[in-house]
Structure 1
């Protein structure tokens, strides 16, 4: 009853609140989706009803924004989206087990539904600052939960999240997946469902919060709060031991530095160096055992890191031999009947929907990024810079990680793309209005 009541409140709220508030609702609760579902599974043996809240909210948002006009976008973007949808649906209805394929189908379609909704909006500066505030609040909560899980309540939180298989008589914890530990050391995972997802989420937020330091639009956040968030999130990223997260954070921040072309580059480098020194001092002094793990992990000498190359090459060989797809959900290793699984979102998608499907997926992403890049200039707003700094590393990382295509990253990724294109459209409209006003003034002289 509690689950039904909560689900009803979410749906009714989505129906009656404004579309801007609905987007903020999504942004706030997406990182807690796994926790909410696990909570109802653990205490009430439920979770199936509340687990579809985001899909219902996205459909309501899509209706609210597009009820008076059709989805409008670049013709090629629209055509690529429709082609991708067609291929996904085709491989869904022809898959061996439709029920097992539904979660993967949702991952393919609903983030793009959200993207389509955002394209039809006008993004004001005030609304963007509210988005940043909500992102910062959720990031801070997840940081706290990461520290609580890692240093105080690991057993309790891991049991609630369903990560533990059993605890033997000697107190040894056996996890359901080997990724929970690395060289016998617990990895920080918070309440996002796993350390790799947690690390990628932290890197995602590090890029977004770093963009505030390099731009005037800091919203409601002071510099002290921004530095504190970056410091805490960097520790969380390091303790997650997520190699994908390391790559996204470093390359994303470097792209932000390039996009901003700041004149105070020396000051920025000094600031980043000081930040790195302080962080390194704390890690080396208080957590020396984690330093060795970081070294082995980054050098691919740790077992799981070394195995990643073999898994990737196995995926390449398999897909070359079987290039036409096997059906949606056939790489979802949460199901017992999955046919194959690779540590690569790109390879898994290719195995499921074939070369043509992944080609359309890549072309769609690259064309969206190209359209944002095409209108980019030194005065481009912060939303555009974030969209580029997030999307480019995520596309590359998707070749070597599955976590870019999972909750909540896949939704935040498409949100950034949608906001990036929408903000450029808004800027173009505002620029055109100013230009017309100037011409009118001259004509009246």
Structure 2
């Protein structure tokens, strides 16, 4: 089958779909991507609201991700660095805890921090050192336990678990009980320890935009929702159909493939709310963690502590909620404003926007780092891609997209 005549469809223009298209183009193919929304990016999006740059959910890129280093031009993204630490709010007071080996300005605040004892701080340094030496493959081959049990097994005090690890990793895993796999904890911790948490100057959506701009022969059809996929073809919600030779489903496949409908994914959800404030409570580019058990809010960040392409007239504050709640939007806004004042001493000026993110991260067990191209194959003509195949990370999304594309290429070569 000639490459130029091979029809390859990709469903979803998220990170996995874009990477799959890039990998197919590298081998001379010209795929078509069908995307239900109005632009590429999937869960990785940025909106401009009243002159402010709002990411859909508080998201960062860990620049140590191997696949991100391979596919992204970091210089072009104008990455803005976070300091390796956090400002922790507890019982009306705040203290800074960070990695002074990587940022000298965090040395004195960390040494004088009331969070954890000296033994805890030594254990953090030991964990950093251990994970730097451990390969990603070794991490994902280890027996799984929960993150909470892993931290306890390393001898960390209850105080530092509750005041630092729980709020920090709840914001990453989007679940408050630290039930996420210890493999994921070690992977993320290693990425934080060997690189930086960064954000593109134009917001998180600059990442898929850059990937999309690299595509030369791919057609993306936006506002095109798929109803179902079989080996006989793709059926769209407007009842039109196409019959490609191969399909890569780069989104949750369970609603689309009839025999997968009983295998629906479970998802962690979160809420992100944006407010303006007159002043900043955190001056440096540090995430703020709220460790009080009574608080609904989990973490905060001032986007005005880093350079952004779009700036409003006041300080821009994001607030993340990961705890489950049944509040209406109005009740949630009021509760968040009350929490900010009570636990952080922050008075908001204006409420800008609320992003309820129902499908923020897939809930997964038996996490893996990578997979073989053949493992992405669902049927003779159908392949799967998405972070849910491995672990909930941008790195996993990229790996799965690449492997699905290679799976298609290898199948074509065999036929």
What TM-score comes out, normalization by structure 1 length? 0.24
Q: Which has the higher strand share?
A: 2
Answer 1 or 2: which has greater helix percent.
Answer: 1
Larger RCO: 1 or 2 (CA < 8 Å, sep 6+): 2
